[in-house]
Amino acid sequence: MQRTAQDWLVLTQLTRHDASAVGVVMALQFGPQLLLLPWTGFAADHYNQRKLLMATQATMGVLALVLGVLTVTGIVQLWQVYVFALLFGCASAFDAPVRQTFVTELVGDTDLPNAVALNSTSFNAARMIGPAVAGVVIASVGTGWAFVLNGASFVAVLASLVLLRTSGLHANARAHRTKGSLTEGFRYVWSRPDLKAMLAMLFLIGTFGLNFPIFISTMAVNVFHADARGYGLLSSIMAIGTVAGALLAAGGDRPRFTSLAVGAAVFGFGCTLAAIAPNYWLFAGALVVIGVAALTFTNATNSLMQLTTEPAMRGRVMALRVAIALGGTPIGAPIVGWTADHLGPRWALGIGAASGIAAATVALYTMTRLSREPIPNRWIEGG
């Protein structure tokens, strides 16, 4: 919700439909995921995760509220949005890996696979349903109130963390506090061909494919000449695909490596359909396909990486996952934004399509390679 509101604010109120400025905002918000990697993974593996979550959630809530007040009062400026995006990104860089690994403290080993799947589904569904809610709020009461509503929503999260019974938590094994912790994490990933392949796929799709604020907003405004309600409707329609993907993930079997290949391929196909869509409603239909595929892919990578990683390394591996999935945005968003500005939004979607096809190729190559090497099948089949 935060990202959608700030991108719409920049695109329609603070600039004259400047997609490059939106790319800068995305780069500032997601850049810290990569730049702060040496500290975020270390914190997730070494410190009290509940207290860390309380700190990061409170910080993001306050930032959202302040930006909301600036917007509602009409004094917000572009440089302020840049600053808030950077600060929000710093807090999120610590929050994301801790939030994803904290689920292992909430349940025992017996329920861990199901818990990871549910947590992954809710996390990724929220990332895609949030824009739909933001679109409705923006169209109904204005962009500033979308920030305020988002800030207020953090109260519920903080309340749940405060009321959580700590006696019922399952403590994870903590890593030793050594200066080589990050190096150890890289070494661990490098020794695992399956993890390297998943991270490569995440980089491709995360950097060039998951730029939905640019894709949807520029297509809505510049191609189909839609207003805020039309933009919000497109976001809501994409959320339908996301919910469908979440239901498939929750009701299906444990995710497998083949799920990554299928998800990436369908994502590329969906982006291709969206790029060539001749009208608003066919574009909306393509967004449903993209939503299903994106949720399937991100959910599978999240679940597989958590379930096949040693507990003591999980925080650093998940921090690396988040850094690569989101930290590539400072590279991809400006490129996609420039493409949308100078060549057109359809060409920008073409970049997303290419990222899905490339990621699917990596998955197929990896499955073929691992099937010929003496590596346990669980790395290919997810356990």
Convert the pLDDT of each residue in 272-283 to its tens digit. Answer: 999 999 999 999
Closest CA to 136 of 21, 245, 238, 18: 238
- Cα separations in angstroms, 272 against 40, 188, 199, 266, 336: 36, 36, 23, 10, 15
Name the more confident of 299 and 143: 143
Closest CA to 228 of 19, 11, 81: 11
Closest CA to 116 of 129, 130, 99: 99
User: What gap in Å lies between CA 122 and CA 125, rounded to an integer?
Assistant: 5
Most confident of 124-138, 309-323, 336-350: 336-350
The answer for 192, left when phi > 0, alpha when psi is -120 to 50, beta otherwise, is beta
pLDDT grade for 250, boundaries at 50, 70 and 90: low
User: What gap in Å lies between CA 116 and CA 234, rounded to an integer?
Assistant: 30
Total residue count of the chain as it appears in this document: 383
Q: Do 306 and 101 touch, CB atoms closer than 8 A?
A: yes
Helix/strand/coil for 32: helix
Amino acid 249: pLDDT: 66
User: What gap in Å lies between CA 34 and CA 344, rounded to an integer?
Assistant: 29
Q: What pTM does this model have?
A: 0.72
Convert the pLDDT of each residue in 213-231 to its tens digit. Answer: 789 989 998 999 988 778 8
How crowded is residue 242: how many other Cβ atoms within 10 Å of its Cβ? 30
- Cα separations in angstroms, 320 against 57, 200, 219, 299, 368: 20, 11, 32, 16, 25
Q: Output DSSP code: residue 227.
A: -
Phi/psi of residue 226, nearest 5 degrees: -90, 155
Domains of the chain: 2-168+180-381 (1.20.1250.20)
Average pLDDT over residues 25-35: 84
Convert the pLDDT of each residue in 57-98 to its tens digit. Answer: 999 999 999 999 999 999 999 999 999 999 999 998 898 888
User: What gap in Å lies between CA 380 and CA 383, rounded to an integer?
Assistant: 8
Q: Do 380 and 211 touch, CB atoms closer than 8 A?
A: no
Q: Output DSSP code: residue 15.
A: S
Percent of the chain with pLDDT over 70: 85
User: What gap in Å lies between CA 97 and CA 119, rounded to an integer?
Assistant: 12
Please check the confidence at residue 44 and state whether its pLDDT lies above 80: no
Token pair, residue 32, equals 């810290």
